[in-house]
C-alpha cells in the first residue's frame, strides 16, 4: 500500500507572470467589447432608424464591431444548418453523407 499522494507546486508556476498580467486585461477588454456589441445588436430597429449612418471616424469602430458580430452569427447559423442537414441525411439513410463534409 502506498502513502498519501503529495503534490508540490512552486510559487513560480502558480503565480501569474508578466505575460499573464498583459493578457488578462486584453481578454477582458475583448469580452467587454463583444458584450457591448451584442447588446447593441438586439436594440429595437426604431433606435437604429432614428440615428443616421455617418462616416465619422469615431463611428467606424462601432460599425466594424457590429458587422463582425453579425458575420460570426451568420457563420454559426450556417455551421449548425450544415451539421443538422448531415445528421438528417445520416438518419434518413441517404447515400454518402460524408461527401458533404
Per-residue pLDDT of 34-56, as tens digits, reads 888 888 777 777 766 677 778 88
Q: What total number of domains does the chain contain?
A: 1
Q: What is the DSSP letter of 17?
A: -
Q: How far is CA 58 from CA 17, 32, 39, 53, 97, in A?
A: 35, 18, 19, 12, 48
For residue 4, tell me if it sits in a domain: no
pLDDT band at 20 (very low <50, low <70, confident <90, very high): confident
For residue 60, tell me if it sits in a domain: yes
For residue 24, tell me if it sits in a domain: yes
For residue 2, tell me if it sits in a domain: no
Q: How far is CA 15 from CA 18, 20, 21, 36, 88, in A?
A: 10, 9, 10, 31, 49
Which percentage of the chain shows pLDDT scores above 90?
Answer: 17
For residue 1, tell me if it sits in a domain: no
Give CA 14 to chain center in angstroms.
Answer: 28
Residue ranges making up the domain that contains 68? 11-99
For residue 5, tell me if it sits in a domain: no
Amino acid at each position: 500500500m502506498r502513502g498519501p499522494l503529495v503534490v508540490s507546486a512552486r510559487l513560480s508556476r502558480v503565480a501569474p507572470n508578466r505575460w499573464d498580467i498583459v493578457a488578462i486585461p486584453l481578454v477582458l477588454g475583448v469580452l467587454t467589447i463583444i458584450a457591448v456589441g451584442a447588446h447593441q445588436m438586439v436594440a429595437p430597429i426604431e433606435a437604429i432608424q432614428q440615428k443616421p449612418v455617418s462616416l465619422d471616424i469615431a463611428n467606424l469602430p462601432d460599425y466594424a464591431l457590429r458587422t463582425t458580430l453579425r458575420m460570426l452569427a451568420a457563420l454559426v447559423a450556417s455551421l449548425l444548418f450544415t451539421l443538422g442537414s448531415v445528421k438528417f441525411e445520416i438518419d434518413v439513410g441517404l447515400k454518402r453523407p460524408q461527401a458533404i463534409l
